[in-house]
């Protein structure tokens, strides 16, 4: 999507879809973190292998908080680097793209992922009410768009409509 017309054809994901993405991805990361912390506690209790025992969720448990942050970084980094989509984005039919419509590389995804770790980052949505572009989008120069519109624009870019030929039957 090299020109502005093609970018205009792609619809930004709505605040509602972005909220659903946050909820689904947050629940998934929370479930994985809790499951792995329970498994770590079990390994410690059963086999004395305490390396993975980060304890249970608690506001004062820094090991659990760091573990949860690590799970989040791996989750977002891996999914968005490989597919441009997380589980939440799969459900809401959205994807991450660069502002010019290109597929994001490792650096923008790393920036997006690290910006998500800023405490209270969800407040950034309050400053961008008319347009759903948040801090992790702004700093990484990415957008979250509807996947259907993006795929249609990509198809049009790769297969432009043939120019009308003049009828030379005179």
Tens of pLDDT, residues 132-152: 778 889 899 999 999 998 988
Other C-beta atoms closer than 10 Å to the C-beta of 150 total 23
pLDDT > 90 fraction of the chain, expressed in percent and rounded: 45
Residue 55: alpha-carbon gap to chain centroid: 28
Q: Which residues contact 137 (CB under 8 A, 6 or more apart)?
A: 112, 143, 144
The mean pLDDT of 76-89, rounded to a whole number, is 96
Query: Residue 6 above 70 pLDDT?
Result: no
Angle between helices 62-82 and 15-47 (to 10 degrees): 130
CA distances for 91 relative to 25, 85, 97, 166, angstroms: 10, 10, 17, 46
Average pLDDT, the chain: 84
On the CB side of 152, CA atoms within 13 Å amount to: 10
Q: Which residues contact 12 (CB under 8 A, 6 or more apart)?
A: 131, 132, 133, 143, 144, 145, 146
Q: Strand locations in the chain, DSSP E?
A: 94-98, 142-146
* Main-chain phi, psi angles of 12, to 5 degrees: -65, 145
CA distances for 4 relative to 1, 64, 101, angstroms: 8, 45, 10
Query: Residue 53 above 90 pLDDT?
Result: no
pTM of the model: 0.81
The torsion angle over the Cα atoms of residues 15, 21, 23 and 27, rounded to 10 degrees, is -170
Q: List, in sequence order, every residue forming a beta bridge with 144; answer none if it has no partner.
A: 96
pLDDT > 70 fraction of the chain, expressed in percent and rounded: 82
Q: Which residues contact 8 (CB under 8 A, 6 or more apart)?
A: none
What is the per-residue pLDDT for 156? 82
């Amino acid at each position: 999507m090299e020109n502005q017309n093609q970018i205009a054809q792609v619809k930004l994901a709505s605040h509602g879809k972005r909220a659903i993405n946050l909820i689904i991805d947050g629940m998934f990361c929370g479930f994985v973190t809790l499951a792995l912390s329970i498994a770590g506690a079990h390994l410690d209790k059963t086999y004395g292998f305490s390396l993975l025992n980060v304890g249970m969720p608690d506001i004062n448990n820094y090991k659990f908080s760091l573990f949860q942050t690590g799970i989040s970084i791996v989750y977002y980094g891996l999914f968005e680097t490989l597919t441009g989509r997380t589980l939440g984005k799969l459900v809401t039919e959205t994807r991450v793209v660069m502002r010019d419509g290109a597929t994001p590389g490792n650096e923008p995804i790393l920036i997006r992922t690290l910006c998500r770790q800023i405490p209270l980052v969800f407040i950034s949505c309050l400053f961008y009410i008319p347009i759903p572009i948040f801090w992790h989008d702004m700093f990484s120069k990415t957008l979250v768009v509807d996947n259907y519109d993006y795929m249609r624009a990509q198809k049009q870019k790769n297969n432009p409509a043939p120019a009308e030929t003049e009828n030379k039957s005179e």
